[in-house]
Structures are given as C-alpha cells and as structure tokens.
Amino acid sequence: MTDYPSTFKGSTSNSGETAWDDLARIVSTDQSDKLDGGCIPLLRGTFAEMIRHMAQLPEGDRDGYVIEKAGDRSYSADEAMELASRPDFPPEGSG
C-alpha cells in the first residue's frame, strides 16, 4: 500500500509496509461511492481497528460495508478478511 503523498511534488512513496495506524472508517456500500465524501461513517478508528470490527460482523452482513482508509482507497469485506489473516496484522490493543 502507498503512504500519504508528500506536499512536495505530490507523489506517493511505497514503503512496503501496511499503515495499520492510518485513520479509517466503515461506511455502508451504498454510500461509499459518494464523490463529496459526505457519507456518514458507522465507525471510525485506525485501519487495524476497522478490520477487526469488520471481522467480528456476521459473515452475511459484511458485504454491506466497506472500509475507507485515509489517503488510500476503499477496501471490500473480502479484502478486509484477507488483511486480517496476514501474519503481520497487529494483535488487539496495538492499533
């Protein structure tokens, strides 16, 4: 994943690490494509916290939500579950 763009020349750098502590929010899928960013988040926190929350939802309910990560992009429920299973995913209480 890419890190935040710098203000100098506006380019991004790829550190090769996942920014688990970046700000993120969970929104319903029907609001995630609003161009003005005016959707109402259901929950806010770190990227890792939002992945943990998504993982705790019943499997049938997950597809109704996406995680919007600040400075990056939106992550579907399937992508969130893949990230939750990574060996470098931080343990509870660390992000």
Model pLDDT for residues 43-56, shown as the tens digit of each residue: 899 999 999 999 99
Assess if residue 18 is contained within a domain.
no
Q: Are strands 23-28 and 65-69 parallel, antiparallel or unpaired?
A: antiparallel
> Average of pLDDT values for 71-92?
91
d(CA 83, CA 76): 11
Residue 7 vs residues 4, 22, 32: alpha-carbon distances, Å:
9, 18, 26
**Rounded Cα gap, residues 53 and 22, in angstroms:** 15
Cα-based distances in Å from 79 to 11, 38, 42, 48: 25, 23, 19, 13
d(CA 24, CA 64): 17
* Domain assignment of residue 64, yes or no: yes
Per the domain annotation, does 42 fall within a domain? yes
| Structural domain for 39, as ranges | 23-84
In this prediction, residue 1 carries a pLDDT of 45
- For the ranges 23-32, 65-74, 75-84, the maximum mean pLDDT occurs at 75-84
Decide if 92 is inside a domain: no
CB–CB of 77/54 below 8 Å? yes
Which helix (H) or strand (E) covers residue 8, if one does?
none
pLDDT tier, 2 (very low <50, low <70, confident <90, very high otherwise): very low
- For residues 93 and 10, the model is more confident at 93
The total number of structural domains that make up the chain: 1
Say how far apart CA 9 and CA 43 lie, in whole Å. Answer: 33
Tell me if the pTM is above 0.85: no
